[in-house]
Copies of this chain bind each other. A is one copy, B any other.
Amino acid sequence: MAQKTSSHAGKRLPNQTRRRQIIEQAIIFFAEQGFGASTRELAERIGITQPLLFQHFSTKQALIQAIFDTLFERMASKDWGAMLHDRNKDLRSRLIDFFSQYAAALYDNSWIRIYMFSGLAGGAFNRLYIASVTEPLLREVAVEIRASLGVPHSPSDVSAAETELLWILHGGLYYTAIRRHIYGMDSPSTDLAQVVEAGVDSILHGMKGLAQRAKVPGGRKNRRVVAE
């Protein structure tokens, strides 16, 4: 009764081709509906019957795992680091470029919604991604900033406070994308580039403060002062 969504009708596809097609459509489908959505509706959208899904993936969870593997591979294989180390450009331009492109990729291709669904489900996917992609990238950023400030800039020199500050920028851009594309709030008057620019400038100043403060041993651990 239901008709296929694919370009031409019920062709038989080689095993691996069909498998890849299922994964690609499942990424889009589960990103929209969440992992609780039914395999029947997914199959209908692909234009196949539901039991065929289980000939390529033993369980629904196995299909979801294949989605994670695919997305992880896709994001981890990109080379954002190169953009950061291009010394032909000044640091500020490099950072703006890096964060602009990284922020754009974060939303693209259903990544952000799958990522949020996964985090809420409690699996290890997010921790794996953060530990092996995001954290190293932010550390590279911190190293570049420290280098341009003329302070020691081996990876071990980066303080936790500096990393956290970069996490604020990263998370802020992340949340900006969520607000626009998940919550459906459009901020019409500013574009992403402008936001990234202002964010990078702010964080650059903050990093400078942290780096200088770190030189002084026993730096300021000020508690809030409610004074008078």
Contact = CB atoms under 8 A, between A and B. Distances in A.
Contact of A116 (B116, B189, B198): B116
Interface string A175-205: 1101100111101011001110111011101
What interface size band does chain A fall in? 35 or more
A88 interface: yes
A202 B198 contact: no
B36 A161 contact: no
Interface stretch (A69-77, A89-97, A139-147): A89-97
Given A172-B167, A176-B168, A224-B96, A199 B195 contact: no
Contacts of A193: 223-224
A184 to B, nearest CB: 6
Contact of A189 (B89, B160, B189, B195): B160
Contacts of A202: 165, 168, 202-203, 205-206, 209
B161 A198 contact: yes
A119 B178 contact: yes
